[in-house]
Structure 1
Amino acid sequence: MEEGDAGLESAILEANWNRLLIILKPKFFPKNEAGQLVNPRIIATMARTLTEPSPDVPEKVKIVFLKCLMNSCVNGYEPKEFDYAESASKEGKNFYEILREIYAKDSVTDAVANKHGYPSFTHFPYEGVAKWATNYISYVLLNHEKQSDDKLEILRLSIQFLCNLCKSPPQCIFDEQFKKTMIVFIQHEHLPVQRAACAFVHNALTLFQEMYYTDFEKDSLTLSLIKPVKLGIPSAIDALKYLLKDPVRLCSIYKDLPTDDRLYLLELIYQELRETGFETSAIKFSSESISFLSNRFKRKSDCVLKTVNSYMDGTEPMEIMILLDILGVLTSITSEDKNFVVTLQNDKSLLINCIFLLKSLHMIGKEGDNFFTPVQRLNELAPSGSIVKDLNGETQNENAARRSGDIQSHPAFGFKAGLIRLIGNMVHKHKGNQELLRETDGIPLLLDSCNMDARNPLIMQWTILAMRNVCENNTANQEVVRGLTKIGVADNNVLREMGITLHDEGSGKSVGIMPLERTCRSEKEAE
């Protein structure tokens, strides 16, 4: 053994912890000063000291040993069982003490490789350390005493050590008690422990596939992962997305989710679909999941109407709003695999629900000044209490120009435009849905909704696209539109605030956009 290795071993055997903490550098372990792997006898000595039930080993030394062993199984020795030492340990001696004695008898090559057939220069038996780590982790869960900072670090490193062994998993991590403990620890109050537990769960899910967690345990994991996902822990996010690949996972856990977690999960799904696209999304939707979301929307969508004059409990309407966004994205997918789009387009009850819900919103909005009444002034979208300027540069208090509450925070904000988007997607190249829309008087409804409305950004664009899809290759629908009579050009406060107006060109068909003169604007505003 080289002098550096001998110094490490003597410091451990003599329990000279101060000297050991000076000369042992976990960051560079298991390489020595010459850049070579340390003798496996050093690894065995560390493992023996860590796993022996001795109160004399300081916690800081255990932390250093765990860091070294953790690094050694990633950047040095590969995990591999050593059957001879395992059988010899049955004599009552420590597993790693026997292994250290084997290494000490002769050179490692002669004593181990030749006599026992173990590749000692490239592999190391980590099972004993893994067993100690799982026992320690389970002990912490059962022992409710407050943990010191050093003990919390030992807990984190124990989990991280096992996480590093997942590619060659020791049998002890399949213990049922340990599996339950890890599910609990993904919500641990100490963030570093929580991060390590999430990393282990992610590795267990992706590397062990179906052999590790039962379906019931996966449901429990899905529910528990919401908390660390909210904290932005990457491994938790990836683990949750992996679990949601299951075709029935969302359906099975949805009713058990607290309301806030339900909204968060739906928003996560929506953002994933919108930002990455259906084909590259880590969350895969089955026909069962799509039907579940559609049915949920149909059952609950009328609750939005209850917010006509008040906010009520905004959680349920917000759930419907996010569901509408998800359905809007799913029906706009252009990938080759359109089975999920067909599933939604064939759902006649969903289309009927959207049409009559749009009719209700439209009628209520015309009845008076409520949360569904179109907003014709852009300054009504400013946050409450803010100071805004008009086109003449004059300031006005927002509270004097708007209703109580912020328009953008109300569940009705953008909901009407979202319904039109979904309707337009459902009639796209679908003859039956085009006919159904006409038969339910949906065409005049869409055209009447084609007005600038600050409550519903892009409502005109979505309506125009929907009308295009309604009339595509459908002569009967085209005739309905062709039979409409032009009455005149509607005035619009939104356009006026933008400094423009619509102008009838006199041809009976053309309508142009013209700048609004400042004097004209001042007169209009004075009125």
Structure 2
Amino acid sequence: MAAAAGRSGSQSPLAAAARLGRSVAVAPAARLESVRALTDLLREPQLRETAEESVFQDLLKILTEALNEIEQAYKDSCELLDLDTCLLLVAECFRCLRNACAECAKNQDVMRNLGLITTSVRFIKLLDGIQIKEELLLTAFRCSLQFLGNIATGNRDSQNSIWKCAFPDLFLTCLTYSDEKIVAYCCMVLFTCLNSEKVRELLDPEKLTVALHVLKVYKEQLESEWSVTLLELIMSKVSEKNSVTSEEMNVFMRIADFLASCFRDKCEAVLKLTSAADAEDEEALVTVRLLDVLCEMTSNNGQLEHLQALPGLLETAIDTLRLTHLAGKQSVNIFTATHAMTGQEEISHPAVGFKSHLICLIGNLCYKSKENQDKVYELDGIPLILDNCSIDDNNPFVNQWAVYAIRNLTEQNERNQELIARMEEKGLANNSVLERMGLEIEKQDDKLLLRSVRRKPL
């Protein structure tokens, strides 16, 4: 192997750094320095690409011996004399491997074929079993997960190998760990490995706990960027038109319960989007995607009845609509109704359509549900919806969704019909708005009725 430019000597830098690691007689501290030198060298893309397999064989040997020592010491309930150095060495080996396989498919394949993925998984299981929580162990734990993340990036074979070794038990171990970095790195590995085929396995009734734990990370720590990705995957799954089994439907019910509780707890986070500086706020973005998924789920007849009965979901949708509507009136922001575009512009703000989707969710939840129709009446939700039905470039199709919601609210519900009729009579509901919605007021026997208008052909 040729030496890198600017370095002298007949031996390659990698071979020189790895030389100490090959000798069993070398002291652990000397091995540690040798591996640290390798770690620094393998930051350079050129040296990564020219690394020989023997380098990784040496690292595997060092790792295996260190893991055997730790495992034997705790198996025999005896104290490992130099545990700190041993853990430092393990961490440095994984850090070195992490660097070596970054954007390097050749090294990813070599490491996988040598069994380093299996070794990493074995180490994580070992650490979880001995239940040590000291900082050096946590560092080694984190480095092993970072290695798995790097070896999986862009490499389908490595992704499949990790999934086979780690799903679901290892992911559950890491997702429930008390260390936030371990949880975050675990999410990174999980989502690097996911594809459409694995999503089906992720949502398997017996393994659903993994998906719920990822969402739990969001709900409790509010720092998980992976929650958005998982919601996207769930969204694509529930949007499928294929018929689902009763078992899969039960899975969706459990997901729906959890998503609804997340939305109820964190919906006000979307108000952060009134500030341009917070347009990419992670918590707010997850709230937006939660609403999208709930709209999709309530559009499915198989899941609708269950969602209609969930405590607090309809109330949360109405309260959130009221808060965003008020926020849009208090200052000019993404929740302010606007109609100034020429038709050529495109708004890319993440909250575009949020109020439309809230009205869609309310309409879905009231579909053929007298209880929810009455609940919206009691919460003064009908005037709120009518006040949001004007053309709004920040909320495409809001008028159509308002029509849909009002029709679902008034279907076979005379009290709701009378409310809208009285509002129009008192000037509280603009008649032109009702006309645009395809509705008109009719008086019969001193009673005001709301009915659909049959449009004349053009």
TM-score clears 0.5: yes
Q: SS at the partner of 1:144? A: helix
- Deviation track 1:473-506 (CA, whole Å, cap 9, x = no partner) reads 222223333443475546xxxx9xxxxxx9x9xx
Code of the aligned partner of 1:435: D
Query: Is residue 202 of structure 2 the alignment partner of residue 243 of structure 1?
Result: yes
Distance of 2:267 and 2:121 partners within structure 1: 45
Aligned to 1:111: none
Shift of 1:328: 0.9
> Residue 112 of structure 2 is aligned with which of 140, 146, 156?
156
More helix by share: 2
- Deviation track 1:115-151 (CA, whole Å, cap 9, x = no partner) reads xxxxxxxxxxxxxxxxxxxxxxx99956937759876
Distance of 1:143 and 1:449 partners within structure 2: 55
Compared CA separation, residues 152 and 469, structure 1 to 2 (3 A): closer
Q: SS at the partner of 1:187? A: helix
Distance of 2:343 and 2:264 partners within structure 1: 31
Query: Is residue 369 of structure 2 the alignment partner of residue 408 of structure 1?
Result: no
Q: SS at the partner of 2:259? A: helix
Distance of 1:513 and 1:370 partners within structure 2: 39
Query: Is residue 96 of structure 2 the alignment partner of residue 144 of structure 1?
Result: yes
Distance of 1:242 and 1:60 partners within structure 2: 34
Q: SS at the partner of 1:454? A: coil
Q: Is the 8 A contact 1:187 1:227 kept in 2?
A: yes
> Residue 473 of structure 1 is aligned with which of 383, 407, 412?
412
Compared CA separation, residues 510 and 293, structure 1 to 2 (3 A): closer
Shift of 1:278: 7.8
> Residue 287 of structure 2 is aligned with which of 297, 306, 320?
320
Distance of 1:140 and 1:313 partners within structure 2: 39
Aligned to 2:84: none
Q: Is the 8 A contact 1:218 1:243 kept in 2?
A: no
Distance of 1:445 and 1:151 partners within structure 2: 60
Shift of 1:229: 6.8
Q: Which runs of 5+ in 1 are unaligned?
A: 1-58, 62-137, 163-171, 384-406, 496-501, 516-527
Q: Is the 8 A contact 2:356 2:396 kept in 1?
A: yes
> Residue 393 of structure 2 is aligned with which of 441, 448, 454?
454
Q: Is the 8 A contact 2:269 2:284 kept in 1?
A: yes
Aligned to 1:378: 341
Query: Is residue 217 of structure 2 the alignment partner of residue 252 of structure 1?
Result: no
Compared CA separation, residues 139 and 283, structure 1 to 2 (3 A): farther
Q: Is the 8 A contact 1:241 1:283 kept in 2?
A: no
Q: Once structures 1 and 2 are overlaid, which stretch shifts more, 481-490 or 346-355?
A: 481-490
Distance of 1:306 and 1:425 partners within structure 2: 26
Compared CA separation, residues 199 and 372, structure 1 to 2 (3 A): same
Distance of 1:201 and 1:318 partners within structure 2: 29
Query: Is residue 290 of structure 2 the alignment partner of residue 331 of structure 1?
Result: no
Distance of 2:297 and 2:152 partners within structure 1: 38
Q: SS at the partner of 1:259? A: coil
Query: Is residue 256 of structure 2 the alignment partner of residue 290 of structure 1?
Result: yes
1:341-420 equivalences in 2 (<5 Å): 341-367=304-330, 369-379=332-342, 382=345, 407-411=347-351, 413-420=352-359
Compared CA separation, residues 370 and 195, structure 1 to 2 (3 A): closer
Code of the aligned partner of 2:111: L
1:23-34 equivalences in 2 (<5 Å): none
Q: Is the 8 A contact 2:327 2:335 kept in 1?
A: yes
> Residue 150 of structure 2 is aligned with which of 170, 183, 188?
188
Aligned to 2:19: none
Compared CA separation, residues 283 and 191, structure 1 to 2 (3 A): farther
Distance of 1:147 and 1:358 partners within structure 2: 51
1:72-221 equivalences in 2 (<5 Å): 144=96, 152-158=108-114, 176-177=122-123, 185-189=147-151, 191=153, 194-204=155-165, 213=170, 215-216=172-173
Shift of 1:416: 0.5
Q: SS at the partner of 1:186? A: helix
Shift of 1:157: 3.2
Compared CA separation, residues 225 and 479, structure 1 to 2 (3 A): same
1:485-500 equivalences in 2 (<5 Å): 485=425, 489=432
Distance of 1:178 and 1:307 partners within structure 2: 39
User: How many residues are aligned here?
Assistant: 327
> Residue 228 of structure 2 is aligned with which of 263, 267, 275?
263
- Deviation track 1:341-399 (CA, whole Å, cap 9, x = no partner) reads 3443123422112112222333443455433221113338725xxxxxxxxxxxxxxxx
Compared CA separation, residues 268 and 311, structure 1 to 2 (3 A): farther
Q: Is the 8 A contact 1:226 1:261 kept in 2?
A: yes
Distance of 1:229 and 1:278 partners within structure 2: 27
Code of the aligned partner of 2:414: T
Aligned to 1:55: none
Compared CA separation, residues 158 and 432, structure 1 to 2 (3 A): same
Q: SS at the partner of 1:285? A: helix
Q: SS at the partner of 2:396? A: coil
Q: SS at the partner of 1:376? A: coil
The percent identity for this pair of structures is: 24
Distance of 2:275 and 2:91 partners within structure 1: 56
Q: SS at the partner of 1:408? A: coil
Aligned to 1:121: none
Q: Which runs of 5+ in 2 are unaligned?
A: 1-51, 55-89, 127-140, 441-451
Distance of 1:448 and 1:184 partners within structure 2: 51
State the structure with more CA Rg: 1
Q: Is the 8 A contact 1:219 1:253 kept in 2?
A: no
Query: Is residue 237 of structure 2 the alignment partner of residue 272 of structure 1?
Result: yes
